[in-house]
Structure 1
Amino acid sequence: MEATFVIQNKLGLHARAASQLAQLAMNFDAKITLYQGEKSAEADSVLALLLLESGQGKEVKVVCEGSDEEGALAAIGKLIAEKFHEQE
């Protein structure tokens, strides 16, 4: 399963947001990969997520494979839509 989301929070996929995403990804029995342009990152790696350099307004494609893929995609989409719970 895959979907494309737009990073909406002001600071983009910075350290705290990447950490939240990685922790969320570890709750699912699915391989979760984020793609931005030519770059890709495993969702359970904070460092890999930071290397995507996803800023506000950037599109990221999230691909989930495994038994929890539907729930994982929905949860990650919700986290991104909620701007990683940041107050702006």
Structure 2
Amino acid sequence: MPERSVKIASSSGLHARPAAIFAQAAGEQPAEVTIEKAGVEAVPAASILSLMTLGAEHGEEVTLRAEGDGAEESLDALVALLSRDLDAE
């Protein structure tokens, strides 16, 4: 199962608007994607509620894992999204 690590660039972390943008993008991917941070169990990346309970803050590293068709491409797209400050967009 491919995986990628990335630091959260959004100034508010994965809360409110950034979580909504990320969850929508994850739901549009062909692969099933999970996200986790150290010490917290992986959650579905397409679930806004799960993302918000993850508590990922600005600068924290998270790990994305994908399974299924287009897994690598899905991870590339989602890592690129988390690498931007979604609060500023």
Settle same-fold status: TM greater than 0.5. yes
String of CA shifts for 1:11-34, please: whole Å, max 9, x gaps: 110111111111101111211000
Task: Find runs of 4+ consecutive structure 1 residues off by over 4 angstroms.
Answer: none
- State the aligned residue count: 87
Q: Flag structure 1 segments of 5+ consecutive residues without an equivalent.
A: none
String of CA shifts for 1:26-84, please: whole Å, max 9, x gaps: 11121100011232210110000001100011110000111011111011011011222
Corresponding residue of 1:5: 6
Corresponding residue of 1:22: 23
- Between the aligned residues of both structures, percent identity stands at 32
* TM-score, normalised by the number of residues in structure 2: 0.90
Tell me the secondary structure at the aligned position of residue 88 of structure 2.
coil
Report the RMSD for the aligned CA atoms in angstroms. Answer: 1.4
* TM-score, normalised by the number of residues in structure 1: 0.91
More strand by share: 1
